[in-house]
């Protein structure tokens, strides 16, 4: 199948063209994003509240979305993408609003620290501590700490998978589910899809290698299961939904991780969205497939946390 025509038109437009990530550097990328913010649809939700939770090196911002006024809502703790280096909770406002509405669950979007200023395991520890703090504030926040999930896309998918590992290793909080949207989980970036879609599909292989270099403290971290979850013992992890995109360099590593989870006895729902590229689920203004994907994802989480 070919790239979706609307997506291809975007890839052919000036909006998708910029110097290589490794040339711009972290500060250059952040400045570029500040100049060209993503379109905001701001679908209505019942309420949005900004919170602060303890992180590994100081306070971390969290934005809590509630789809209704019901008390004791299930909670999805969400970690945004951006290669561990860029993006903010503001840039993921649409995604989290959509996910809250489709899942019927509260969604807490975590503004973890970014690399290279805060390399591995700093951002991961922020994510785990945010999960732990939110679970401990159930009565205050009107959430049910017995119905928790983690979720994230791209680098955030890595952080969600690794947070699930930490929750298992550290004795909680207990998770019912994990939702992973085109997660980056292989620092080698050497899969067939990495080679096939190395250029011209927005995310590049060279860019992904650069992102990993910013996140990892040294090459040895690539062998740490908390940085590369496929290396972990995956038994006993919560069930998962895992989304991939047909023309994404990360496609194969995500689908391989789903297979590894299944081999370890973990139930997995896997969906590959045809004609799509990396990041499509955050582009409802570009393709209706974004809303379809988030609706599917939200339905899985709704069933797991409220069914």
- The catalytic residues are 154, 248, 278
Interatomic CA distance for residues 258 and 161, integer angstroms: 11
Interatomic CA distance for residues 256 and 242, integer angstroms: 11
Instruction: Measure the CA angle with vertex 301, ends 136 and 104; round to 5°.
Output: 80
Say if residues 248 and 182 touch (Cβ distance below 8 Å): yes
Say if residues 227 and 250 touch (Cβ distance below 8 Å): no
Q: In DSSP terms, which residues pair with 66 in a beta bridge? A: 47
Is beta strand 268-273 parallel, antiparallel or unpaired with respect to 240-245?
parallel
Count helices and strands (H / E) in the chain.
10, 8
Please tell me the chain's helix, strand, coil percentages from 3-state DSSP, rounded to the nearest 5: 45, 20, 40
Say if residues 189 and 206 touch (Cβ distance below 8 Å): no
């Amino acid at each position: 199948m070919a790239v979706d025509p609307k997506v291809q038109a975007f890839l052919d437009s000036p909006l998708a063209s910029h110097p290589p990530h490794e040339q711009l550097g972290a500060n250059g990328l952040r400045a570029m994003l500040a100049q060209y913010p993503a379109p905001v649809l701001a679908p209505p939700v019942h309420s949005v509240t900004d919170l602060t939770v303890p992180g590994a090196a100081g306070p971390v911002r969290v934005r809590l979305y509630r789809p209704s006024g019901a008390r004791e809502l299930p909670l999805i703790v969400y970690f945004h993408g951006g290669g561990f280096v860029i993006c903010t909770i503001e840039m993921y406002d649409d995604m989290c609003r959509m996910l809250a509405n489709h899942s019927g669950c509260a969604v807490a979007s975590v503004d973890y620290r970014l690399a290279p200023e805060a390399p591995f395991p700093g951002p991961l520890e922020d994510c785990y501590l945010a999960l732990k703090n939110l679970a401990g504030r159930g009565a205050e926040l009107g959430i049910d700490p017995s119905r928790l999930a983690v979720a994230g896309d791209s680098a955030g998918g890595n952080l969600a998978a690794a947070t699930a590992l930490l929750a298992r290793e550290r004795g909680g909080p207990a998770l019912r589910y994990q939702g992973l949207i085109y997660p980056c989980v292989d620092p080698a970036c050497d899969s067939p899809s990495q080679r096939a879609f190395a250029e011209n599909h927005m995310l590049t292989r060279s860019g992904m290698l650069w992102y990993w270099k910013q996140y990892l403290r040294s090459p040895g971290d690539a062998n740490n299961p908390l940085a590369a979850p496929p290396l972990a013992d995956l038994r006993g992890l919560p069930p998962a939904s895992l989304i991939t995109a047909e023309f994404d360099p990360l496609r194969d590593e995500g689908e391989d991780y789903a297979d590894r989870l299944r081999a370890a006895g973990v139930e997995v729902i896997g969906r590959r969205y045809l004609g799509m590229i990396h990041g499509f689920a955050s582009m409802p203004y570009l393709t209706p497939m974004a809303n379809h994907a988030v609706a599917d994802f939200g339905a899985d989480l709704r069933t797991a946390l409220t069914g």
